Each structure stands twice: as structure tokens, then as C-alpha cells.
């Protein structure tokens, strides 16, 4: 909060990443200066030529359902709930896979020892560490699972959508502004292992519905977060404020 207050105090205009961040700034009385979300939110947009599933070989349809998580392997990303939920799912559907893309931060926000033990056991779970290029892991997956406790405006969910993946996300800032529940993914309560398990199970058991969500995913991202559109929103905003004086 102190950092937010200082940043806003030094600014003349506030451009929050999304409506959730905007509401937090207002509800906590961080600032009373002009504040505006540009477009649908996000501040840099996404390069759809770079994040393009057609650049990669398609997965074999007979492969088991694969979930991918991209982010730091820490408690606040919902890792404890994710591993527990996947454990239950994997017992029912042994062909399911969970790929974890990201580095561990054991000194900052460690996951439980039980979670670490389960990841290292490796049955159905593949932890690949931090990666310079995450696109191949999106391309090999059927869905993103991102049960974070808090975010500003997560680029991961935008990237996955651009790569044609539906997402399971929590009802937090940013994620709920990118995902339209039932259209390009589903939204569940944060820190809720049961809801996460039910959502993952639903994805596995309803392939036709998930294919429809996947078909919607890239189109929705293109219409709201394409890099050129986001930049144009920023240019228009600068033009507006520079010519209002």
C-alpha cells in the first residue's frame, strides 16, 4: 500500500492495469487523482504473431489431458491447492498430466513440504523450472490452470489465451477481467481446493465444451489485448491529456 501511495503521489494521471486495481486504489483511498483504465486493461498488450499456436506442432488427440501452470512455484500462486486437487484427479484419471513452468522461491513464499514431496515424486507432474520461452509448453497443453491468490493483471492468462488455451482462474483482479466464465474458461473462488478439483475434473470429462472454449480463447484475446490495440489506447490517452491544456 505504501508503494502504491508513493507512486500515485508522484503521478499526475493514474493508469491502472485493470478495473480491479482501479477499484483497490479508490476503495483504499490511495489516490483521488484522475484515474482511467485504458481499453480492457493491461498496459503492454500481446504480440499475436509471437504467441501463435500455429507455429508449433499440434498435440496428439489420443494423449491424456494436460494442464499447464506458468508462474513462480510459491504458496500465493495457489500451488498447495493445485497439487492436492491434481492428486485427486490423477487417481481417477491416471492419464492426466500437470506441467509446472516456473522457478521455486523457497525463501520468500514456500509451498508446503507435502506439496514439494508430491512434485518431486513426479507421478503425472512434470516440473520444468523457469523457461525463457514458455510457448512450447502452452502448445503441448489442453488448458491453463492458474489458481493464484492475488494479481494485478496476469500476462500468463493472456498468453495462454493467445495460444488457444481455455483457462481455470480464480476470482481475483485481472484474471476475472480476462476470462469470461463459460466462454474462454471458468472462474473459481481463490484458496478453494474443492472448487479447483471440480473445475479440473469438468475439463477432463467434457472435451467438446472445452474445445469450444479453446476456439473462443484466441479470438477474445485478439479483440481485447492485441498489442497494437493496447498501444493505440495509450497513444490516444496521451494525445487527449496533452491537448487538454
The domain locations on the chain are 2-45+226-242, 53-225
Q: Collapsing DSSP states into helix, strand and coil, what is residue 145?
A: strand
Which cell is 152 given? 494485478
Mean pLDDT rounded to a whole number for the chain:
91
Given a cut of 90, whether residue 91 has pLDDT beyond it is yes
- Write out the H or E segment, with its range, that includes residue 83: helix 79-92
In this predicted model, what pLDDT tens digit does every residue of 118-129 receive, in sequence order? 999 888 999 999
Given a cut of 60, whether residue 61 has pLDDT beyond it is no
199 or 30, higher pLDDT: 199
Say what the alpha-carbon torsion angle 207, 212, 215, 216 is, to the nearest 10 degrees: -140
Q: What angle do CA 163, 168, 174 make, to 5 degrees?
A: 80
Those residues with Cβ within 8 angstroms of residue 97's Cβ, 6 or more apart along the chain or in another chain: 64, 65, 66, 67, 124, 125, 126
pLDDT above 70 covers what percent of the chain? 97
- Whole-angstrom CA distances from 23 to 32, 48, 180 are 12, 29, 19
Length of the chain: 245
CATH of domain 53-225: 3.40.50.2000
pTM of the predicted structure, to 2 decimals: 0.90
Residue 45 CA to residue 66 CA, distance in Å, equals 26
Q: Where are the beta strands (DSSP E) in the chain?
A: 66-70, 97-101, 125-129, 143-146, 167-170, 185-188
Given a cut of 60, whether residue 54 has pLDDT beyond it is yes
Amino acid at each position: 500500500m505504501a508503494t502504491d501511495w508513493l507512486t500515485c503521489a508522484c503521478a499526475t494521471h493514474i493508469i491502472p492495469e485493470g478495473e480491479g486495481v482501479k477499484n483497490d486504489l479508490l476503495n483504499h483511498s490511495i489516490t483521488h487523482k484522475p484515474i482511467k483504465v485504458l481499453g480492457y486493461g493491461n498496459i503492454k498488450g500481446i504480440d499475436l504473431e509471437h504467441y501463435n499456436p500455429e507455429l508449433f506442432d499440434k498435440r496428439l488427440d489420443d494423449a491424456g489431458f494436460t494442464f499447464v501452470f506458468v508462474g513462480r512455484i510459491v504458496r500465493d500462486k495457489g500451488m498447495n491447492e493445485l497439487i492436492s486437487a491434481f492428486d485427486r484427479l490423477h487417481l481417477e484419471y491416471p492419464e492426466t498430466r500437470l506441467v509446472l513452468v516456473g522457478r521455486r522461491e523457497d525463501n520468500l513464499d514456500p509451498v508446503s513440504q507435502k506439496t514439494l514431496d508430491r512434485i518431486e515424486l513426479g507421478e503425472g507432474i512434470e516440473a520444468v523450472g523457469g523457461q525463457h520461452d514458455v510457448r512450447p509448453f502452452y502448445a503441448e497443453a489442453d488448458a491453463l490452470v492458474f489458481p493464484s491468490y492475488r494479481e494485478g493483471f496476469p500476462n500468463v492468462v493472456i498468453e495462454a489465451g493467445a495460444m488457444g488455451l481455455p483457462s481455470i482462474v480464480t476470482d481475483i483482479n485481472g484474471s476475472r477481467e480476462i476470462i469470461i466464465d463459460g466462454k474462454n474458461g471458468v472462474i473459481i473462488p481463490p484458496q478453494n481446493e474443492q472448487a479447483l478439483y471440480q473445475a479440473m475434473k469438468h475439463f477432463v470429462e467434457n472435451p467438446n465444451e472445452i474445445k469450444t472454449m479453446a476456439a473462443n480463447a484466441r479470438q477474445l484475446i485478439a479483440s481485447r489485448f492485441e498489442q497494437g490495440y493496447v498501444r493505440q489506447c495509450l497513444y490516444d490517452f496521451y494525445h487527449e491529456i496533452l491537448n487538454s491544456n
